[in-house]
Amino acid sequence: MTNQTVNQINEQFETYFGAPARAFAELTISHVEALVNTQVEASKVYTELSLQQVRKALEIKQPQDVQGYIQGQQDVAKELTERFKGDAEKVVALNRQFAEEAQKLTQQNVQAASKAAGSAK
């Protein structure tokens, strides 16, 4: 094999396999990073909310304090429900965006391969 042939093979490999694989890997890493950041943020919020509730429970000193605490629990439950919903919507949006970008990458790679196959004829 000549150097020109080896260079051509390397170039084709990079064009049809290397570059698309790296692009998809970068997209995947970015997606995973966004998901992890979302989970870390949610964990911080849920942890802080839980600790606040424990602190409030420790402030109960009289029977009437219990009623206030229980009423506060309803507000916390509502806040958690809204937070869960928002977090779920954020994850769905991230997954949708990932799927769209992955599809776009795939289409670009198929078009490039088709174009190359057409010019090779």
pLDDT band at residue 83 using 50, 70 and 90 as cut-offs: very high
Q: Which tens digit of pLDDT belongs to each residue from 7-20? A: 777 777 777 778 88
pTM for the model: 0.75
15-54 per-residue burial string, b: 16 or more CB within 10 A, e: under 16: eeeeebeeeeeebeeebeebeeeeeeebeeeeeeeeeeee
Number of other residues whose CB lies within 10 A of the CB of residue 73: 13
The per-residue pLDDT of the chain, averaged, comes to: 89
| Distance from C-alpha of 121 to C-alpha of 119, rounded to nearest angstrom | 5
Q: pLDDT tens across 36-55, in order?
A: 999 999 999 999 999 999 99
Residue-by-residue DSSP string for 35-94? HHHHHHHHHHHHHHHHHHHHHHHHT--SHHHHHHHHHHHHHHHHHHHHHHHHHHHHHHHH
